[in-house]
Amino acid sequence: MTRIGRTAQADMFRVTEDPRWLLTIDGWNSKWEPAVESVCALVNGYCGVRAAVEEGSSVSNPATFLNGLFDAAHGLVTQAAATPEHQVIAAATPELVKAPDWSRIRVAIEGMPVRLAEDQLLQHGRTLDMHRGVLIREWRVRSGKRTTRLRSLRFASLEDRHLLGQVFELTPEDWSGEVILETVVDGDVTNEGGVRHLVGLQTYQESERLFLSAVTSEKKLSICLGAWARLTTHHGRPIEGAQECGERTLVHRWTFCAERGRSYTAEKLCTLFTARDIPQPAARASELLTTVAATGLPAALEASARAWGRRWASADIHIAEDAVIQQQTRFALYHLIGCANPEDERASPGARSLTGERYKGHVFWDTEIFVLPFFVFTHPPTARALLMYRYHTLPAARDKAHRLGFQGALYAWESTDTGVDVTPPFVFNAAGERLEILTGVQEHHVSADIGFAVWQYWKATNDTQFFLQAGAEMLFEIARFWASRVSQEDNGHFHIRDVIGPDEYHETVTDNAYTNCMARWVLRRGVEAATWLRIHHPEQLTALADTIDLEEEEIAVWSHVAEKLVDNFDSTTGIFEQYRGYLDLRPADLQLYEPRRQTMDVILGWQQLSKTQIIKQADVVMLLVLLGDQYPRHVWDVNYRFYEPRTAHDSSLSASFHALMAARLGDLDDAERFFRKAANVDLNFEHGVTAAGGVHIAALGGMWQALVFGFGGVIVEDQGLRCEPRVPHHWGTVRIPLQWRGEQLYHCINGEQETNPRSAQ
């Protein structure tokens, strides 16, 4: 057994010296606490652990979410939807299952429990050390005449994603007396609305190791959590304790006499496995716990920190002179690194990652358009895993297309582990209006978005094995869907009717420019992929065509549809009409409603809003971000200037792509303003706590894209990467790591000085 002395214990609480790696929350504010728990969550791709205080409080919502572990929520459940003002009613909706709460600590001094809400709080602060992937909390409480200093540290290992660790230190400042300290695993957990997913709980003991096992209520997937703990004095001497297996809890308990000025440190290691990971999770949880308990918590913490260091080496965007932008950037990168697991091809990050229950952990188009590019250019194995998730859910996408009367594959608007669409049917807004949710039956651009992601990954990595195994089939089935989705008018042109584009304030429209142009792009890539396979891998093309019953005549139809599909582009003005008839809507001046704290659908009401040109988020602007290299720069400019004043930015997805486009156009004031707006979706507690339901992972992914493709000016071309940077002078030198076709590159910019990415030396 490794023995830990005072120096080693102190080192564990050491934070990274550079404050730009740290996110510090000083004081205690119950109104902010739900958002703080999300923002400071520990994430490693396998699980996410909210930053709830160990002893709990009236506003605490502790939760550990396991990526890809879904079960059905029965009964009527209330959940916030598109905005905090919306309430969704859903029945039997699959949601991410909460794992047992492993981080609970109970302390009693001379028989009096230490509780945050009851004791006089003298000092309180939490620091998320993003470089090491640890959360450190320090606080002082006064109970009667006793003052106690407390510290804790938690981490979710990036080295072994099934491992969790916790350190808790207690120091009497002005008293000596009896202390009862308990580290607890609580299996009595429920999801939002009181839904209980873990049933059949069993607890048992193996030596000093305690275990809690359960199964999910519907799918009967087994889950096992193992816990080991010990308490030492400031000299590193162990204090004898006891273990207790309750009906739903595991407890390690110590009763000891604490001496004034002396520190006492509890260390706790937990292992967590489910039947999604391995056939016998209990055996694997026991095996891993035995191994890590023997080597000790400090070794596990150091291994995790090294793993974070390796990921940061290929992901960290260094901004020399602007400390705030640097910290905001690292906050985004930290959560992006931790949102996905490269070892799991059957899971994908939900809209709020693994940090909260909003949207029940469902997967949207956000992943492919906003999040995936970060992994494509910094960690391709993770990007591949996320695309393979879509490949494994291809059967459900085919089923959805066929149910709606189309061919090919139409991916779910809201997806879980199976790929079946779980979009709720309706919503009540704050005004009490019942609004039918049409996204699941009309917002079809998700399939084009996934096709775009498949092509982007293949071209950036040269991963031909992926393309032959999965990518080509996905692309063909998506192209097949779009060819069946169009309708032809007498003039020979094709149209796409009854859709919703990225701007969800206008429903059931015809020829949404984003949808049509993305569909056309996918159709052309389908033709191009077939041509490439015919030349380079004819046997694989023949085998795939036989499998999915694809004929040469059908591929020719794709080309014809793409050629005749309208795009709403006016070559005279350079404007894309967002959809047919949009320009006939009533203009509206959004400045008349400023300052505002509510979204425009709440202010105007849905019926009135839909008659105006007010749009929710980037739509045409997003189209030009993704496919803008097909058009001259003046088209970017005229559409940005036309649509931005009409955009309410009522979606967290909007600001980052506006920052990207503004940077490309050289409007650095607008670009930086929108970049900060994207960051403050989660970080500005003063003006809202929208992060209470989890961080907005797509907004964070959009920030990375704004930095790389906007400020960094990186342009992806078939022959390589070209750069036209636009960086504010006060940022100083900016260094962007990128992976391109197996090579590590670094893009360095000094002010607005242009450079091209260079290979690592």
Mean pLDDT confidence for 596-616? 94
DSSP 414-475: SB-SS------SEEE-TT--EEE--HHHH-THHHHHHHHHHHHHHHHH--HHHIIIIIHHHH
Among residues 245, 280, 313, the one where a domain terminates is 313
Q: Is residue 423 part of a domain?
A: yes
Question: Which is nearest to 564 in space by CA: 447, 499, 482?
Answer: 482
Question: Of 528, 510, 530, 524, nearest to 564 (Cα)?
Answer: 524
% of residues, the chain, pLDDT over 90 = 89
135-149, 554-568, 634-648, range with the lowest pLDDT:
135-149
| 603 in any annotated domain | yes
Question: 133 lies in a domain?
Answer: yes
Choosing from 607, 630, 655, the residue where a domain stops is 607
* C-alpha distance across the termini of the chain, in Å: 42
Q: Check whether 4 has a pLDDT greater than 60.
A: no
- Spatial separation of the C-alpha atoms in residues 51 and 166, rounded to whole Å: 12
The helix (H) or strand (E) run that includes residue 193 is none
Residues 414 and 531 in one domain: yes
294 and 172 in a common domain: yes
Gap between the Cα atoms of 579 and 448, Å rounded? 17
Same domain assignment for residues 141 and 286: yes
Q: Whole-model pTM above 0.75?
A: yes
> pLDDT band at residue 193, thresholds of 50, 70 and 90?
confident
Inside any domain, residue 537 = yes
Q: Is 553 a catalytic residue?
A: no
Q: What band does 116 get if pLDDT is binned at 50, 70 and 90?
A: confident
Domain membership flag for residue 596: yes
**What is the overall mean pLDDT for the chain?**
93
Average pLDDT in the 288-300 region?
98
Asked if residue 252 is part of any domain, the answer here is yes
Do 308 and 424 lie in a common domain? no
Residues 54 and 147 in one domain: yes
Beta-carbon count within 10 A of 177 CB: 13
From the list 37, 357, 504, 507, the catalytic residue is 504
Q: Are 426 and 436 in contact (CB under 8 A)?
A: yes
User: CATH no. for residue 399?
Assistant: 1.50.10.10
Within a domain: 502: yes
State how many domains the chain has.
2
Residues 360, 153: Cα–Cα separation, whole Å: 28
Strand (E) or helix (H) holding 335: helix 323-337
Question: What burial class does residue 54 get, using C-beta atoms within 10 Å of its C-beta: 0-12 exposed, 13-18 middle, 19+ buried?
Answer: buried
pLDDT digits (tens, 9 = 90+) for 236-282: 899 999 999 999 999 999 999 999 999 999 999 999 999 999 999 99
Residues 307 and 425 in one domain: no
Residue 111 has pLDDT above 80, yes or no: yes
- State which residues form the domain around 88: 6-313
Structure tokens belonging to residue 200: 């059949």
Instruction: Give the distance from CA 206 to its chain's centroid.
Output: 36
Q: Quick one: pLDDT band at residue 87, thresholds 50, 70, 90?
A: very low
Q: Are 483 and 561 in contact (CB under 8 A)?
A: yes
Asked if residue 5 has pLDDT above 50, the reply is: no
**Span 545-567, average pLDDT:** 98
Q: For residue 383, tell me if it sits in a domain.
A: no
Residues 452, 592: one domain? yes
Task: Report the half-sphere exposure of 458 (CA within 13 A, side-chain side).
Answer: 21
| Residue of higher predicted confidence among 685 and 290 | 290
Same-domain check for residues 13 and 140: yes
Gap between the Cα atoms of 85 and 603, Å rounded: 11
Helix, coil or strand: residue 257: strand
Largest distance between two CA atoms of the chain: 90
With bands split at pLDDT 50, 70 and 90, how would you rate the model's confidence at 718?
Answer: confident
> Once rounded to an integer, what is the mean pLDDT over residues 329-355?
98
How long a stretch of residues is the chain? 761
Q: Domain with 88 in it: what CATH number? A: 2.70.98.40
Q: Tell me what pLDDT residue 82 has.
A: 40
- The verdict on 478 and 575 lying in the same domain is yes
Judge whether residue 290 has pLDDT over 50. Answer: yes
pLDDT at residue 751 greater than cutoff 70: no
User: Are residues 458 and 556 part of one domain?
Assistant: yes
Q: Domain end: 313, 338, 357, which one? A: 313
pLDDT at res. 10: 62
What confidence score (pLDDT) does residue 84 get? Answer: 40
DSSP 100: P
